[in-house]
Amino acid sequence: MKPPPLKDDCFSIPPGVAWTQVDVALLRLRDSLHAVTEVETLPVEQAGGRILAADAIAQRSNPPYANSAVDGYGFAFDTLPGGALKELPLAQGRSAAGGPFAGTVAAGQALRILTGAKVPAGVDTVVLEEDCSIEPTRIAFRTGLKLGANVRLKGEDILQDAPALPAGHQLRPQDIALLCAVGIGSVSVRRPLRVAVLSTGDEVVAAGTPATDAQIYDANRPMLLETIRKWGFVPVDLGHVRDDPQLVRDALAKGAKAADAILTSGGASAGDEDHISTVLTEHANLQTWRIAIKPGRPLALAMWDGVPVFGLPGNPVAAFVCTLIFARPALMVLSGQNWTDPQGFDLPSTFAKNKKPGRREYLRARVQNGKVEAFQSEGSGRISGLSWATGLVELGDGERTLILGDPVRFYPYSAFGL
Task: Report how far residue 368's alpha carbon sits from residue 265's, in angstroms, rounded to the nearest whole number.
Answer: 32
| Model confidence band, residue 15 (pLDDT cutoffs 50, 70, 90) | low
pLDDT in tens, 325-364: 999 999 999 999 999 999 999 999 999 999 989 899 999 9
Size (the chain), residues: 418
Mean pLDDT lowest for which of 42-56, 147-161, 373-387? Answer: 373-387
Q: What is the mean pLDDT of residues 210-224?
A: 87
pLDDT in tens, 48-64: 999 999 999 999 999 99
Q: Could you tell me the end-to-end alpha-carbon distance of the chain, in angstroms, rounded to an integer?
A: 51
pLDDT of residue 12: 55
Looking only at Cα atoms, what is the longest distance across the chain? 109
Those residues with Cβ within 8 angstroms of residue 357's Cβ, 6 or more apart along the chain or in another chain: 397, 398, 399
Q: What is the mean pLDDT of residues 205-229?
A: 88
- 8 pLDDT higher than 60: no
Least Cα distance to 93 among 112, 77, 116, 76 occurs for 112
pLDDT of residue 274: 57
pLDDT in tens, 60-97: 999 999 999 999 999 999 999 988 999 999 999 999 99
| Model confidence band, residue 101 (pLDDT cutoffs 50, 70, 90) | very high
- 130 pLDDT higher than 90: yes
pLDDT in tens, 277-308: 778 888 767 766 678 899 987 677 888 888 88
CA distances from 383 to 9, 11, 17, 223, 364 (A): 21, 19, 29, 11, 10
Q: What is the overall mean pLDDT for the chain?
A: 90
Those residues with Cβ within 8 angstroms of residue 349's Cβ, 6 or more apart along the chain or in another chain: 371, 372, 374, 393, 402, 404, 405, 406, 407, 408
- Structural domains present in the chain: 22-33+194-335 (3.40.980.10), 39-62+158-190 (3.90.105.10), 67-152 (2.170.190.11), 345-416 (2.40.340.10)
364 within 8 A of 383, measured Cβ to Cβ = no
For residue 19, the 8-state DSSP code is P
pLDDT of residue 17: 62
For residue 146, the 8-state DSSP code is P
In the chain, the percentage of residues whose pLDDT exceeds 70 is 92
